[in-house]
Amino acid sequence: MAAGVAPAPAPAPTPATVEWTGRAGEIVGDSPLMRELLAQVEQYAPYDEVVLITGETGTGKELIARQLHASGPRAKGPFTAVNVATLDAATAASALFGHIRGAYTGAEAHRLGAFRSSEEGTLFLDEIGELSPDLQARILRAVELKEIVPLGEDRPRHVDVRVVAATNRDLATMIREGTFREDLYQRLRQFPLRISPLRERPDDIPLLTRHFLRRWNRRYDTLIDIAPEAIAVLQDYHWPGNVRQLENVLKRLCVPLRPDGTITGEAAGAILADEESSWEGRHSRRDARPPGTAHAPPSGPEPRNLTTANPVDLRSILEETERGWYRAALGATEGNQAEAARLLGLNPPAFRKALRDRFSDLLE
């Protein structure tokens, strides 16, 4: 996917085909929005301050974070990426802050944790909006004081780390809902970066398309090209999955072609019609309240039916009701566990733990 901008690209590209290549990867584009973003990256890179990157899924937030690291004074240090939504609730604090041997059951060896592993480098915290309240407080201390307390230790340890955070969620709304700390939000957004969705910069699509086709041709030793009308079709699409979706669509278009084939407008239109149908199905199910008929949770007996002659097993009813909502959320998101957790207002690690421990049949 798209990434990185070199601090001093050479030779300078012509305005019609801007493609920056840096140690972190490549960002391809020449739209005013991309030029503004890249200028901000270059402005922020030298300063050892927290950066908050916001943008929809598939826009390349980690690649921008890597470029901030590669363009700054910590470039020779480590870059550690942690997706906090994937951390298990029971071990998340250890993964981030480390532990000493014997800190808890199963802690058989010392663990540095992500902060200490990133010493003199950059720690990228992706999906920061999924942090539990306890971890939010710990992250705030680490960012403000540059101190952490590994599990099992009493004294704080100093950490020399630059933190870059990212999210695709509306943290301001989460603050109003009481699910995200305002003090942490204010601390994280010292240097904000917003990555525009692809639909706001269609002029970048031809450049991105050529970039991904070159990558495909190099990898598979082919000479696949794309017709102008196919590029026009791609530019007319709204790309809810952004650059990642564009790359995946181009791969699907390349697979059935001969090594020297050309992607046609008709082929691009057919693939995008399928993409749109799939997206609308997911979107409509996600917005339904309650979930649609195909994924509706079960309903238990009405309390008015409860009599001494007709007792109920409330635990079983609640268990089956919860299972039904889990099933509905997974169905509405086509198995995306993080999205399903958000639909139910749950923390993704807690959702995953419940699936493993109580509803493992839903994973089959």
Average pLDDT over residues 138-152: 89
Q: pLDDT higher for 34 or 323?
A: 34
The reported pTM is 0.71
Q: Cα separation of 24 and 66, whole Å?
A: 5
Q: Under a CB-based contact definition with an 8 Å cutoff, are residues 206 and 212 in contact?
A: no
| Residue 307: strand pairing partners | 310
According to the model, what pLDDT value does residue 364 have? 63
Q: Cα separation of 75 and 114, whole Å?
A: 17
Average pLDDT over residues 338-349: 78
Q: Residue 32: is it exposed, middle or buried by C-beta count within 10 angstroms (0-12/13-18/19+)? A: exposed
According to the model, what pLDDT value does residue 180 have? 94
- Give the domains, in start order, of the chain with CATH numbers: 15-196 (3.40.50.300), 200-275 (1.10.8.60), 288-363 (1.10.10)
Q: pLDDT higher for 175 or 27?
A: 175
SS3 per-residue string spanning 146-164? CEECCECCCCCEECCEEEE
Range with the poorest average pLDDT among 4-8, 14-18, 67-71: 14-18
Average pLDDT over residues 340-363: 79
Q: pLDDT higher for 110 or 206?
A: 206
According to the model, what pLDDT value does residue 1 have? 43
Residue 302 pLDDT > 80: no
HSE of 314, CA atoms in CB hemisphere, 13 A: 2
Q: Under a CB-based contact definition with an 8 Å cutoff, are residues 92 and 349 in contact?
A: yes
Residue 25 pLDDT > 60: no
Q: Which residue has the tokens 């539990």?
A: 132
Residue 3 pLDDT > 50: no
Share of the chain above pLDDT 90, in %: 54
Quick one: the chain helix, strand, coil %, rounded to 5? 50, 15, 35
Average pLDDT over residues 328-339: 79
